[in-house]
Amino acid sequence: MPPIFVVLLVICVWISFLNPRFATVPGIMSFLMRAAPAAILAAGQLFVIVSGGFDLSVGSLITLVVLGSSMLIGGDPANTPWVIAVMFLIGIAVGVFNGAVTSWLKVPSFITTLGMLVTLKGFALLWTGGAPRGALPNNFRVFGRNRLSGVPLLDEVPYAVIILLVVAVVATYLLHRTGWGKQLIALGDNPRAARLSGVPTAKVRILAFVASATSAVIAGILLGGFSGVSTNVGDGQELGAISAAVLGGAKLLGGRGTMPGAIAGALTLQALFTLLNLLGWPKPLRDGLQGVIIIGAVAYTAWRERRS
Amino acid sequence: MKANGSSAERGRRDGPPILEMQGITKRFPGVVALDGVSFDVRPGEVHALVGENGAGKSTLMKILGGVYAPDEGTLLLDGRPISFSHPWEAQQQGISIIYQEFNLLPYRTVAENIFLGREPIRRGLVDYARLRRDSAQLLARLGVDQWIEPDMLVKDLPVARQQLVEIAKALSFSSKVLVMDEPTAALTDREVELLMGLVRQLRDEGLAIVYISHRFKEVFEVADRITVLKDGRKVGTVDAADVTPDDLIRMMIGRPLDAYYPEYARPEDIGPPLLEIKGGGNDVLDDINLTVRAGEIVGVAGLQGSGRTELLRAIFGIQPFTRGTVRLRGQEVRIRSPLDAVRLRIGFLTENRKEEGLALLQPVRDNILLVHRALRPLLAKANGAPSVAELAGQVDLRAAGLDQEVQYLSGGNQQKVVLAKWLAVDADVLLFSDPTRGIDVNAKASIHRLIRSLAQSGKAILMASSELPEIIGMSDRIVVMWDGRIHGELPAGATEAEIMALATGQREGRRST
């Protein structure tokens, strides 16, 4: 079993000692509900990481989804369906752009998506005049904060958890069971060999960025529902997603990574922050720890590679 | 080419060794890389170290260079026991190693590379005047100052000259022992000759030289003594004058040379033309006219820079033809990218298997299926149609399992994985470029048999190689490249002399039609 699952288990047991309610069905459900956006984002990010790139634009894309949805819906719940459709289209467009610029103009994805991060955030703030405006109607927020009741055994299941489950299954299938997923990993491992084996590298890579951007749109819809409209809802989410993937055993610069690992990595980060909160660490310190974790995780993987 | 020189031309063989390695044992997890190996070298002699890949040559040299510490055994330099905690210390003590992969900085000058980390300092700043002067002196001592100047950037030098910079760097440490690991792997024959001369010169100046090579011709040309390693053990140390290449091969593998190459194709094995090129050309190639028929192996000989590998790259769409026509199985086709070539079921295999052939972190299975998957819809199920186990059997792959990562396979088996990748999509025109470079003798023979059996099964094979024995042993026809053109064509069994005459542009060949 990959080490990340052990770490996750240990942290969860520890939390249960401090807070016995955590180890109940409702406790686990609300934990998963809070973790769902980050886990979905990590799943999307993994597609780009195994291909040898980064997608830093997802945090701003989330902000754009939340602010843009509130602007377009304008308080009329009847607008929600088409606005959600538009958000997915925007996500796909951002993904295609990131992937195309990276593939054809040979701009490293780190730079392409960093530029996109700044641009999308700027665009979102320009649209709303710099402050959160309006509110999201209930039929939008339902995905992020409501629960499906009457489920056998579990009683209530948050919609976010169901969505996470679906995303996890689909993403695992795409990465580990389709020709695309395998070609993506091969591309990240050795781009030149992949090209000389006939892999349509641009197409394969663009799709990875589309997957990542789509995951950001889903995460944005959940976060908007969970915590409402704010201008910093997406800040730092990209780093969380990359950390999660690396904690889950993915190799930065490509060629290695598993979907269950990345999702477990995201859950572990969420559990760790829950634990530190219970232990009374102040929030800035908890946030700051994330930087240490990503450096530590990458150093650990590098050390393990060197040893083998 | 000189035959085995008389002993007078050779180095000294008496006197005490400057360097002795005694009973060296090195274990890695699950494998004994070296088992009680002893080795010594005297001042003024060239001691060659030969053996198949995995025999332990590199491990022995890495112990000598301070990269690994031995588990057992001692190192004596000038009779004193030594040990290193860092490669730097080995160099300080006078042991310099030139590895196959150069340790040069491409965007620094020759002088900066030679004295990297030891630049002369004057008033706290690098004394560039002295740096240049000292480098110029070293280059002059090597007799290469007419080609290499201290201010040239390393990246602008051809590989052979970069090698000379490495040698100059090694000498700048006032080395007593110089180890050269496969120094001629990337050199043309002329450059090899120059290097051989230099090795003799350094030997005569009293340097002790350890020479590791797969190429027997060089070994016999320069070595005074030869030590053969096999499976981590020493088979023996012999005087070069007392043995023949066949003796050495027997020592290395326990099998004589004649089992080395399979039979040529018989006339009835040869079918219709599968690949026809008329008037092909691009930036580096011109007027390429070439036909490869089903069932035959056409060898492409030529010196480095003759367009030998570029020809294969043009056919495969890496640097496509910009002129002329290509017909595949009788149909005119345009190949502008590797993807076009793959779609037309053309396969490509190079000596750079790690850079161009394999995704090293992925299992055997995913590597073998990569081309197959590339040709199917993106969201198609990853596994299915071709049986990976069957393909692995077809190429006689020796792996711990289909889920083993290819990075852990030997060179020969890695090459078989690349081959299986093309068999998975039934590629029937196969382009091979130095398919056995850096592969040990046993695995070489097995790859050669495999290539021949592919031809027998009706595939058209175009094989470029820098090794003439391979070209001669394998090819049913030989085309020789010179200056970006096909300079002539020779039948199966042509001699090295005939090929070289065409390859050096000395003789006009029979034109291919």
Residue A16 included in any domain:
no
CB contact under 8 A, A190 and B342: no
Measured CA to CA, the distance from residue B62 to residue B34 in angstroms comes to: 12
Residue A19 included in any domain:
no
Measured CA to CA, the distance from residue B225 to residue B152 in angstroms comes to: 37
Residue A238 included in any domain:
yes
Q: What is the ipTM of this complex?
A: 0.89
Amino acid identity for residue B358 in this structure: L
Measured CA to CA, the distance from residue A136 to residue A67 in angstroms comes to: 9
pLDDT tens digits, one per residue of A159-184: 999 999 999 999 999 999 999 999 99
Task: Look over chain A and give the mean of its residue pLDDT values, rounded to a whole number.
Answer: 93
Q: What is the pTM of this model?
A: 0.77
- By C-alpha distance, which of A108, A112, A71 is closest to A95? A112
pLDDT tens digits, one per residue of A13-55: 999 999 999 999 999 999 999 999 999 999 999 999 999 999 9
Measured CA to CA, the distance from residue A109 to residue B395 in angstroms comes to: 39
Q: What are the structure tokens assigned to A276, written together?
A: 């530190």
Higher pLDDT: A303 or B189? It is: A303
pLDDT of residue B253: 65
Percent helix, strand and coil across chain A, each to the nearest 5: 75, 5, 20
Residue A253 included in any domain:
yes
Residue A176 included in any domain:
yes
- The residues facing B19 across adjacent strands are B41, B77
Substitution target in A173, A180, A182, A197 with the highest count of B β-carbons within 10 Å is A197
pLDDT of residue A1: 60
Q: What are the structure tokens assigned to B395, written together?
A: 């190429």
Sign of the torsion angle spanned by Cα atoms B420, B421, B425, B431? negative
Q: Tell me which residue in A190, A192, A200 faces B374 most closely, judged by beta carbons.
A: A200
CB contact under 8 A, A181 and B382: yes
Please determine, for residue A258, whether its predicted confidence score (pLDDT) is greater than 80. yes
pLDDT by residue, tens only, chain B of 513 residues:
334 444 345 655 567 899 999 999 998 765 678 999 999 999 999 999 988 666 788 889 889 988 888 999 999 999 899 888 888 888 888 898 888 777 889 999 999 999 988 888 888 899 999 999 999 998 998 888 888 999 999 989 887 888 889 888 888 888 899 999 888 777 777 788 888 888 999 899 899 999 998 777 888 989 999 999 887 889 899 999 998 887 887 787 655 444 568 888 888 889 999 999 999 999 999 999 999 999 999 999 987 778 999 999 999 999 999 999 999 999 999 999 999 999 999 999 988 888 899 999 999 999 999 999 999 988 888 877 778 999 999 998 888 889 999 988 888 899 999 999 999 999 999 999 999 877 777 788 889 999 999 999 999 999 999 888 889 999 999 999 988 999 999 999 888 778 888 887 766 554 443
Substitution target in B345, B361, B367, B403 with the highest count of A β-carbons within 10 Å is B361
Q: Say if CB B166 and CB B98 are below 8 A apart.
A: yes
Residue A17 included in any domain:
no
Residue A15 included in any domain:
no
CB contact under 8 A, A251 and B380: no
Q: How many domains does chain A have?
A: 1
**Mean pLDDT of the region A199-207:** 96
Residue with tokens 């008037």: B279
Q: Are strands B297-301 and B460-464 parallel, antiparallel or unpaired?
A: parallel
- By C-alpha distance, which of B209, B192, B187 is closest to B10? B209
CB contact under 8 A, A199 and B370: yes
Q: Say if CB B384 and CB B375 are below 8 A apart.
A: no
CB contact under 8 A, A177 and B382: yes
Chain A residues within 8 A of B360 when measuring between CB atoms: 189-190
Chain A residues within 8 A of B432 when measuring between CB atoms: none
CB contact under 8 A, B338 and A180: no
Measured CA to CA, the distance from residue B204 to residue B220 in angstroms comes to: 17
- By C-alpha distance, which of B371, B375, B357, B384 is closest to B424? B371
Q: Are strands B46-50 and B225-230 parallel, antiparallel or unpaired?
A: parallel
pLDDT tens digits, one per residue of A270-298: 999 999 999 999 988 888 888 898 888 88
Percent of chain A's residues with pLDDT above 70: 99
Q: Tell me which residue in B356, B360, B371 faces A198 most closely, judged by beta carbons.
A: B371
Q: Tell me which residue in B318, B357, B375 faces A193 most closely, judged by beta carbons.
A: B357
Range of the domain at A49: 3-10+24-303
Helix (H, G, I), strand (E, B) or coil at B467: coil
pLDDT of residue A46: 98
Beta strands in B321-476, from DSSP E residues, in sequence order: 323-328, 331-333, 346-350, 429-433, 460-464
Residue A221 included in any domain:
yes
Amino acid identity for residue B5 in this structure: G
The minimum CA-CA distance between A215 and chain B, rounded to whole Å, is 18
Helix axes A259-278, A283-307, angle to 10 degrees: 140
Q: Say if CB B176 and CB B43 are below 8 A apart.
A: yes
Q: What are the structure tokens assigned to B465, written together?
A: 């190689």
